[in-house]
Structure formats: C-alpha cells, structure tokens
Amino acid sequence: MPPLHPCLGSDGGPVLAVQVENEYGAYGDDTAYLADIAAMLRRHGVDVPVLTRDRPAGLARGGLDGVLAAADFGSRTAAGPSPPPSSGPEPTRSPSSNSTPPRPPSPLPRHARPRSHRGVSRRPFVPTTGEAPVPTELQAVLFDMDGTLVDTERLWLRTVEEEALGLGLVLTDADLASVLGRAVEDCAEHLAARAAGRAEPSRLGASLERRFTELVRERVDPLPGAVELLAALHAAGVPTALVSASPRPVVDTVLDVLGRHRFATSVAEGETPRTKPFPDPYRAALTILGADPARCVAVEDTPTGVASAEAAGCAVVAVPSYAVIPPAPRRTVVHGLPDVDLGLLRRAAAS
C-alpha cells in the first residue's frame, strides 16, 4: 500500500497525495490501481481529489479527480499552501564553483519521502527502445459460457457419459481433452472413433445436442460471481461478448438466464468456419465489437478455450473447471469468478 498524504491544495481545499514508486523509480504508472484507490476512498465516504506526483499518459481516464503536477510532493503540504517567494535578492554562485546549492528540506516525514534508487532516475519510467507503451484501456471482455459463466460443463459431461454408455464405453480422464470445451460435432466424432464404427458421427451429434439442450433448459444455474461480474462490467460501460462452442439453442437459453442486455453480441457453434481451439469464434466477436484484441480479455475455463482466445490475440483470465491450466505470459489463473473484478481485468489487458 503506498503512503497516502493528507494535504491542502493551492485553493486551501483538502486533497490526498498518493505516493507510488516501483523498482524503476516510477510514480503513478498504474492508473487502474490508482483508480481503485479513488473508488475505495469514495466507498468509505472520503470525497476528496486523489493526486499523484506525475501525470502519466491516460491518467485522466483512470477515474482520478486531479493530478499534482509538481516536481516534489513538498509543493503541497499538510501545513497549508506553499509560502510566497522571498522578496530578498537571490543568492549567487561563483562561476568557478562546481558545488550545487543545497536542496531545501522536504516538509514530508522521512518515511514518506520518495526513495532514491541507485543509478535510477526518480522520473516516471519511459521505455527507451522506441516501442510505444503498452495500452492500459480495457476495450471489451469476452466470456466462454459452459463452465465459465454457467454450471453447464457438468451437464455436458453428463450428456456425453450417458451417450458413451449407450455405446458400451466408459469415459476416462484421457477423454476430457476431446470432450470439454469442444463442439458437439468434435465430441461426436471422438465417440464414434472410440466405438470403432458402431455409430455414425451425425447421429451421435444430433443425440448429444438434443440431450444437452433439454438438460440446460431444466437446470442451468449461473456460477458464483458470474452475475455480479457481468453487472459490474455493464455499469462501467465495458462491452461484453459470449463466445461458446455450444449450439445456438443452448446459447440462447443461457442468454435468457444471464440477461441478454448484458452482452453486446454472442457467437455459437457452427457460426464460424472453425470452432475452438481455433481462433475463429473470438475473432468473429472481436470484429463485431470493433475491438483491438490486444486490449481485450477472454475469460475461459478449459485449455481448448484458452488456446482459441490466445490465438485470437486476447489476454486470458482462466478459471479452470476440470482440466489444469498453468499460468503463462498474458494469462492469469484464478480460483473462480469471485476472484475476478474490473481492476484484475484492466491489469490483464495491460499485461
């Protein structure tokens, strides 16, 4: 937690200076973090401007009320506005002197003063490679459906197990990669291959879709944190999309449960040339949204879905259901949707 300094602004009103410093000596670079601080203060009834030492690009969009554009926190102190400059003559230096005039003492307590880093400037870190800084704006969040927002992964697994038993097959852990997160057609082909020609993939596919649709209509339930997260994104004006490998009738049933108004668009199985793990479903949703994948986050629960979203260029927040998903660059793994909030999604988009 960075030091928070109650101060008086130049107009005599109260402000709160936030000192944030990382290993590069940068101040105020994490706009999402500072915005969270501002929101936290407002929830506790503290309605004063939150200021930072420097103004990084895009800070005004971070939800802060103002910026302390000063070279040192000491220019605004709890003792009141800075005193007027002295009317006396300025001290002069001898041209032959190489000494630097002593810096006036900081009015902040020692523990609150910016720390010096050996060989590192106190100014905000600026990349020197010529590359543009990573954008921090979150343009959209794209959600998988089964096992991510609603508890249908369990229903789908039950559907496949019942269909397999009808063929004299018992599913094992080795089958999960060909079943979870896959389209009905892919799963039907897998079962037909295991049945060694005792069933046609087309017949299996039709039976799987019928069974699954009936189960979803009877007992679909949002997973913990799903409705709250969707409501928070809707309130913040962040567009969302539903990107699923399930058939359109199943997707429409879930949209009715979660609220269609919460999604700008949806993509179902069969509506793109290829489905997950290929990037086509996510690319289709991104095109409809007009969003840059580098500024979007996909929320997925299976390795198949993660592969699809990452191939489309999105950052990923993974909430594993049955299969293990390891962390990776631009991939954050959490226990469940209650661990996901707007701040986490913004940080994931900026990663």
Residue 275 has pLDDT above 60, yes or no: yes
Rounded to an integer, the average pLDDT of 90-107 is: 49
Residue 27 has pLDDT above 90, yes or no: no
Confidence band for 170, pLDDT divided at 50, 70 and 90: confident
Question: What percentage of the chain has pLDDT greater than the value 90?
Answer: 38
Segment (H or E) for 42:
helix 31-43
Pick the most confident of 98-112, 170-184, 227-241: 227-241
CA 342 to chain CA mean position, Å: 6
Residue 231 has pLDDT above 70, yes or no: yes
Residue 181 has pLDDT above 60, yes or no: yes
Dihedral-angle region of residue 33 (phi above 0 means left; psi in -120 to 50 means alpha; beta otherwise) = alpha
pLDDT of residue 134: 43
pLDDT of residue 73: 35
Q: Based on the number of CB atoms within 10 Å of its own CB, is 27 exposed (0-12), middle (13-18) or buried (19 or more)?
A: buried
pTM for the full model? 0.55
Sheet holding 265-267: strands in order across? Answer: 265-267, 240-243, 140-143, 296-300, 315-318, 331-333
Segment (H or E) for 254:
helix 248-258
Segment (H or E) for 51:
strand 50-52
pLDDT of residue 157: 84
Confidence band for 39, pLDDT divided at 50, 70 and 90: low
Looking at every residue in the chain, the average pLDDT score rounds to 74
Pick the most confident of 28-42, 46-60, 304-318: 304-318
pLDDT of residue 38: 61
